[in-house]
Amino acid sequence: MHDHQGLGPAAGTTPGRGRGARAAVAATVLSLPASAAVCLLRPGDLVATTLAYLVPVVLAVALAAVAVRRVPAHRRRPWCWLLAALVLYLAGELLFAAVALTGGESWPTPADAVYLAAYVPVTLGLLGLDRRRGGGHHRGNLLDASIVTLSAAVLFGVFVVLPAATDTAQPALARLVSTAYPVADVVWVYLLARMVTGPGARTTAFWLLAAGTAATLVADVGNNLLQLVEGTLTTPVWMNLLWQSFYVLYALAACSDSAPRLSEKKPADSARGLTAPRLVALAVAAVLPSAVLVGLAVTGARTPTAWLAAGSVLLVGLVVARIWDLLQQVRSQAVQLAALARTDPLTGAANRRTWDHELSRACAASARSGEGLYVALLDLDRFKSFNDTRGHQAGDELLKAATAAWSESLGTDGFLARWGGEEFAVLLGSADEAGTLRRVDALRAVVPHGQTCSVGLARWDGAEEPAAVLRRADEALYAAKTGGRDRLVTAPELHPRPAQPAAGPAPRGSGAAR
């Protein structure tokens, strides 16, 4: 039984490493139609058709063996597993050819043991590539792959595995091998679904890998259907061509220049969302067992309906889990969007919209409690010159570093926001005017990278509009900038208060230039 249903990866492009490499790739690719032509023209010649089948396989494995060595060492392990699988499959092909040419009629053959053993390294290789691409960290993609796989598992189980396992006319070993192949195919369905739904770049190597996997699956399913419907062991030319394509596409994947990038881990946001084609595929996979069950009931066909019903129930559970995961994603994104709407994307400080809200809220709270409220505007001195001489990247770094330094200096009871450009706004609630002046003036001392800042400070009088106290702070900031920069200027009181017995505030214009 020629049933080497290995699901190998194939993703590659023609390598541009000289004429020898291009000639090897061309010979491998052209051997496919040549092999098919021999099989079509001489269908009764067992030796010719067997050798014609083996030529593309041998060429592909040899090409892959050379190509895998060119993959960088730190990304080579998954490809080594896949190469090991190819070598095992080739060994199985040679054993099967020897059995066929010597007239062996018994099944299973020694080749089947080698074919089944090759599933292990090819699974490790595909899982290794998927893990390095970050596929194991996306719950939605894993659920999508599970839905497709469970649908396939139910149908394979009912129509292939159960009939083969319960066929008492076959020896126990034959039944075991007959059930092992479709079970392994279900694993490959899961691996292919994970690869297609997972994150990572859709390079030429990726698509050839998916195509090689799909070619093997189509050949395997077609082989199973032929055995169920016709009960024949004869393999048609198109099926052999698909299996040969697996080897060739796998070899192209290994020798592709994009093969190393296939195992690069991508950021979380590179995971494909629930697109329309994916939604259609998931819907078909979810309803397929139920639709088959309905069709069998209408036609009156006898089949293990309990298995189909159980599979349908499990699929409903997976679909519900997927919907729940989508709801969690929506909630998480809503929180992130809300945070983005409140913060400055560069510095992480509150933005102007949030500042307006906090200023109004703080004024209302101060009016109720009677506690003093201070508004300060900070402006980095000569920021345009800093940008022009050091570059905009350095300017961005200065803004972020200043934000971090000011936030640490203010502590938890101060509120910092980016007012715009290189200007920042500060809110402080305190009954200690002298202490507040010292805290605000201390912000000048922590400006990073040897730069300076000017500060304008105003005390809310308890009655004016929030915009009015901000305007007075801006006027004080203008006075600090025109007065020589690197200093703090306090706005005059609108309603002067009685002098305090304690030490008075720092004089207007305090803070000599550093």
Q: Which of 252, 223, 290, 239 is nearest to 79 (CA)?
A: 252
Q: Identify the pLDDT of residue 377.
A: 96
Alpha carbons 236 and 473: distance in angstroms, whole number: 86
Give the pLDDT band (50/70/90) at residue 511.
very low
Question: Does the pLDDT at position 513 exceed 60?
Answer: no
pLDDT of residue 496: 55
For residue range 334-357, list pLDDT tens digits in order.
Answer: 887 877 788 898 999 999 989 999
> What per-residue confidence (pLDDT) applies to 495?
58
First-residue to last-residue Cα distance in the chain:
88
Q: Which two tokens stand for residue 273?
A: 């969302």
Give the least confident one: 227-231, 308-312, 355-359, 465-469: 227-231
Q: Considering only CA atoms, which of 269, 284, 291 is closest in space to residue 336? A: 269
Q: Which one of 101-115, 125-139, 256-270 scores highest in mean pLDDT?
A: 101-115
Residue 266, pLDDT score: 61
Q: What digits encode the pLDDT tens for the residues 79-100?
A: 999 999 999 999 999 999 998 8
Mark out the alpha helices in 102-236 (DSSP H runs).
110-132, 139-156, 162-165, 172-197, 204-229
**pLDDT higher than threshold 70 for residue 5:** no
The pLDDT-based confidence of 267 (bands split at 50, 70, 90) is low
**pLDDT at residue 2 above 60?**
no
Yes or no: say if 148 and 282 are a contact pair by the CB < 8 Å rule. yes
Judged on CB neighbours under 10 Å (0-12, 13-18, 19+), 76 is middle
* 108 alpha carbon, distance to own chain's centre: 42
Taking a C-beta distance cutoff of 8 angstroms, is the pair 245, 275 a contact?
Answer: no
Say whether pLDDT at 304 is over 50: yes
Specify the amino acid at residue 474: D
Look at residue 232 in the predicted model and tell me its pLDDT: 61
Tell me the C-alpha distance between 138 and 322, whole Å. 12
Whole-number average pLDDT of the chain: 85
Own/partner contacts of 153-158, CB < 8 Å, gap of 24 or more, are 153/186, 153/189, 153/311, 154/289, 154/307, 154/308, 154/311, 154/312, 154/315, 155/288, 155/289, 155/292, 156/182, 156/183, 156/185, 156/186, 157/307, 157/311, 158/303, 158/304, 158/307, 158/308
User: What pTM did the predictor assign?
Assistant: 0.67
Instruction: Name the pLDDT band for 504 (thresholds 50, 70, 90).
Output: very low
Answer whether 5's CB lies under 8 Å from 177's CB. no
Per the CB < 8 A criterion, the answer to whether 87 and 58 are in contact is no
Q: CA 108, 113, 114 angle in degrees (round to 5)?
A: 130
Per-residue exposure over 340-366, b if at least 16 CB sit within 10 Å of its own CB, e if not: eeebbeebebbbeebbbebbeebbeeb
**pLDDT given at position 410:** 93
User: What pLDDT is attached to residue 100?
Assistant: 86
pLDDT band at 1 (very low <50, low <70, confident <90, very high): very low
Is pLDDT at 17 greater than 60 in this prediction? no
Among 137, 182, 189, 138, CA closest to 161: 182
| Three-state SS sequence of 201-234 | CCCHHHHHHHHHHHHHHHHHHHHHHHHHHCCCCC
Q: Per-residue pLDDT averaged across 135-154, rounded?
A: 86
